[in-house]
Structure 1
Amino acid sequence: MKSFFSFFLIFFSFSFLAGQDIDLEHFKALKFRNIGPAGMSGRITSIDVNLRDKDHIIIGAASGGVWESRNGGISWKPIFDDQPTQSIGVVKFNQNNPDEIWVGTGEGNPRNSHNSGAGIFKSIDGGKSWKFMGLKETKLIHRIIINELNPNQVLVGAMGSAWGDSEHRGVYRTNNGGKDWDKMLYIDQNTGVADMVADPSNPNKILAAMWEFHRTPWGFNSGGNNSGLYLSYDGGENWKEITKKEGLPEGDKGRIGLAFAPSKSNIVYALIEADKNGLYKSIDGGEKWSMVSSKNIGNRPFYYSELYVDPNNENRIYNLWSYVSKSEDGGRTFRTIMDYGNNVHPDHHAFWIDPDDSNYLINGNDGGLNISRDGAKTWQFVLNLPVGQFYHVDVDNDFPYNVYGGMQDNGSWVGP
């Protein structure tokens, strides 16, 4: 076994150094098995729940693929392992037909360890099989909106490549279930979609946050004069830019997080990275805006900028950053509810609130998945989601040998 493993590493290394694509056909006969470690996990990027059966949960991981639970998070199985990438940006049920699941690949948190994706995929049999639906060159797909009145119409928010100029950014739309795609909103080669949300009472009304950004191996530039907020009333056919005149901050803007209030969809919140970061609020559905607060609203906007509004209370907001902050007064004040304690890992990227029971919450962070049934008072860590993001692995010369690995934000591990 040891000699075989060494051969595999040598073969892989020379293939990589030679700059040649790896032919996956060579590995089809290999049977991989999970060797651990147990009791740990990794970065969760997206969560969705089948509203007809809330025990049916799907999650996407930064480099661990798509996983499914059919019993409320007790046990899990991978459902995307045979696909060409395991870097996931977004997972989404078609709530009119939950056997239809969409997966956008490429993590939408472009830190220096992120992985690019390979387009968008769809399953029509509950995740048993998948079909590639295009948009391969978009690299990072962060948002998917399925029109609940016309599920064949799907909008995709593509961040685009983090590592260079690309014309494959912006809002894409299909009207035939993914057979064909049209680019509906495009700014330039450096500006992609940071967030995109639909009005819960009108699926043709869309808000899109465009983000100018660029990553290099040694740094990251977030923001520019091409970042901004755009509003459409016709499913993405036409767009109106929201500017300083409508109340947004002046000057360069960075990443923007958006959230409609489902119970009163005339209320919309925007977390805006600017010279002075702030939480902004609209009470007319996104036309006019005003700053609500600039205090205790988070850090490192390029890595977070995620807002979620309680479906049953338009004033209750969850703001995801290194911690999770909660507001009960429409964003005027926040208090931290998830810090380094409480059985929860920091650095939060995904959240789900049960539309029928605001106490049922699911949270995804750099350490994995947590579930609360009491409105965030306590959290249960999901121990059996092996989606750790390893920076490097190695073995020693013992017999039998030991395997060592260093993980993103989850320490170093060793096991036989």
Structure 2
Amino acid sequence: MKNQLFLLLFLLGFAPLGAQKLDLTQLEGLKIRSIGPAGMSGRVTAIDVWLGDPEMIYVGTASGGVWRSRSGGVTWEPIFDEAPVASIGAIAVNQKNPDEIWVGTGEGNPRNTQNSGQGLFKTIDGGKTWTCVGLEDTRVIHRIILHRDDPNTVFVAALGSAWGPNPERGVFKSTDGGKSWRKVLFVNDSTGCADLVIDPRNPNKFLAAMWEYGRKPWTFHSGGPGSGIFVSFDGGESWKKRSSEDGLPKGDLGRIGLAIAPSKPDIVYALVEAKENALYKSTDGGFKWRKVSTDDNIGNRPFYYSDIFVDPHNENRVFSLWSILSKSEDGGKSWSPWVGWKVHPDHHAFWV
């Protein structure tokens, strides 16, 4: 953990404490631990950090709105309480203008306690005021990506309603800062976008994980012909689906989590729900895939736990979030628990 700040937030909420300043050098060599007070605010579902000052951290929760820390996680304050919705699925900070923050509402982990959202919100004054900028009928927004060179170009991954078919799901794109939206990837009215990643070298290249799913009060359906990995090279205007001919599992797929290695973007990981759940890896940017692990320490309950992350400086160090936090140091081949648990945490958000 030397020279890096690993931030992990559990199934905990936040209660503001007296203002303190954190000296990050004091964290070197410390074991990872919970930094949230015990006030209940729901699962932490989203994290983003302003890279200009890594002490400025934003988190979203399943039922407690959006919280901000100006002290690297020592103290927290709520900044979304005046909004009409408290269930959060995604957060994105404009790295060129940290006063501009985007929040997608509706938790993206559709267990039976999930709350739906009311669209996409935006602030341009650091969270003092918020405006809904559309996509109200998507119900669940799980990812937001801002174009690195043009923050008026925004991509949104919408899962759609868990409780029934609706056409307001898939990948949406705005080129005017959220004033208008176009649906650029749509499969069917039961298939939403469970994950969306961008190539850090090429802002026009995307990989999307589409997921066909549906929930009833008495059961849950995960998977179908609509699920799969889609690739775009033209800013989302056209997409090509990868298949079993490219090395992915045969048959219907379920939920898929994606992660691109920032240090070597040709390396992409996919945690795939299938007849045999497994981690797949691509070394050519998402064209061809091979299965690298079925280790039990990758996780379970893929409809609920599917997020994976790659160390930005080491393409072989991969993290998988579930009831524990697991880590691989060999490119996903083997896994071991990195952070265990003494209470029951649900790990759904991570920043490294």
The question of a shared fold, defined as TM-score above 0.5 by the shorter chain, is answered with: yes
State the 4+ residue runs in structure 1 displaced beyond 6 angstroms.
Answer: none
**Counterpart in the other structure of 2:28:** none
**Counterpart in the other structure of 2:332:** 331
Matched AA of 1:329: D
CA distance in 2, matches of 1:345, 1:147: 37
3-state SS in 1 of match to 2:245:
helix
3-state SS in 2 of match to 1:302:
coil
3-state SS in 2 of match to 1:205:
strand
Is 2:309–2:319's contact at 8 Å kept on the other side of the alignment?
Answer: yes
**Counterpart in the other structure of 2:183:** 183
CA distance in 1, matches of 2:215, 2:157: 19
3-state SS in 2 of match to 1:137:
helix
Matched AA of 2:345: P
Q: CA deviation at 1:149?
A: 1.4
3-state SS in 1 of match to 2:137:
helix
3-state SS in 2 of match to 1:331:
coil
**Counterpart in the other structure of 2:222:** 222
Residues paired across the two proteins, number: 315
3-state SS in 1 of match to 2:171:
strand
Matched AA of 1:313: N
Q: CA deviation at 1:245?
A: 1.1
Is 1:316–1:326's contact at 8 Å kept on the other side of the alignment?
Answer: yes
**Counterpart in the other structure of 2:295:** 295
CA distance in 2, matches of 1:254, 1:203: 27
3-state SS in 2 of match to 1:192:
strand
Query: Cα RMSD (Å) of the superposition?
Result: 1.1
1:126 aligns with 2:126: yes
Q: CA deviation at 1:39?
A: 2.7
Q: CA deviation at 1:77?
A: 1.0
Task: Give runs of aligned pairs for residues 172-251 of structure 1, distance below 5 A.
Answer: 172-251=172-251
CA distance in 2, matches of 1:129, 1:347: 30
CA distance in 2, matches of 1:82, 1:40: 19
**Counterpart in the other structure of 1:311:** 312
3-state SS in 2 of match to 1:349:
coil
Matched AA of 1:325: S
Q: CA deviation at 1:219?
A: 1.2
Matched AA of 2:100: E
**Counterpart in the other structure of 1:351:** 350
Which runs of no fewer than 5 residues in structure 1 stay unpaired?
1-33, 354-416
State which structure, 1 or 2, has the greater radius of gyration over its C-alpha atoms: 1
Give deviations 1:95-121, integer Å, cap 9, x for gaps: 111111000000000000010000001
Q: CA deviation at 1:40?
A: 3.7
Q: CA deviation at 1:88?
A: 0.3
Is 1:108–1:141's contact at 8 Å kept on the other side of the alignment?
Answer: yes
**Counterpart in the other structure of 1:164:** 164
Is 2:323–2:344's contact at 8 Å kept on the other side of the alignment?
Answer: no
TM-score (norm 1): 0.74
Matched AA of 2:288: K
CA distance in 1, matches of 2:39, 2:181: 39
Matched AA of 1:83: A
**Counterpart in the other structure of 2:82:** 82
Q: CA deviation at 1:180?
A: 0.5
Matched AA of 1:71: S
CA distance in 1, matches of 2:137, 2:345: 32
Matched AA of 2:286: G
**Counterpart in the other structure of 1:51:** 51
Matched AA of 1:307: I
Is 1:173–1:184's contact at 8 Å kept on the other side of the alignment?
Answer: yes
Give deviations 1:121-153, integer Å, cap 9, x for gaps: 100111111111000000000000101011110
Q: CA deviation at 1:200?
A: 1.3
**Counterpart in the other structure of 1:400:** none
CA distance in 2, matches of 1:130, 1:277: 40
CA distance in 2, matches of 1:235, 1:81: 34
CA distance in 2, matches of 1:226, 1:183: 16
CA distance in 1, matches of 2:326, 2:53: 29
CA distance in 1, matches of 2:315, 2:291: 17
Is 1:92–1:101's contact at 8 Å kept on the other side of the alignment?
Answer: yes
CA distance in 2, matches of 1:75, 1:350: 18
3-state SS in 1 of match to 2:334:
coil
CA distance in 1, matches of 2:245, 2:112: 36
Is 1:339–1:346's contact at 8 Å kept on the other side of the alignment?
Answer: no
CA distance in 2, matches of 1:91, 1:334: 28
3-state SS in 2 of match to 1:142:
strand
CA distance in 1, matches of 2:349, 2:68: 16
**Counterpart in the other structure of 2:19:** none
Give deviations 1:361-397, integer Å, cap 9, x for gaps: xxxxxxxxxxxxxxxxxxxxxxxxxxxxxxxxxxxxx
1:142 aligns with 2:142: yes
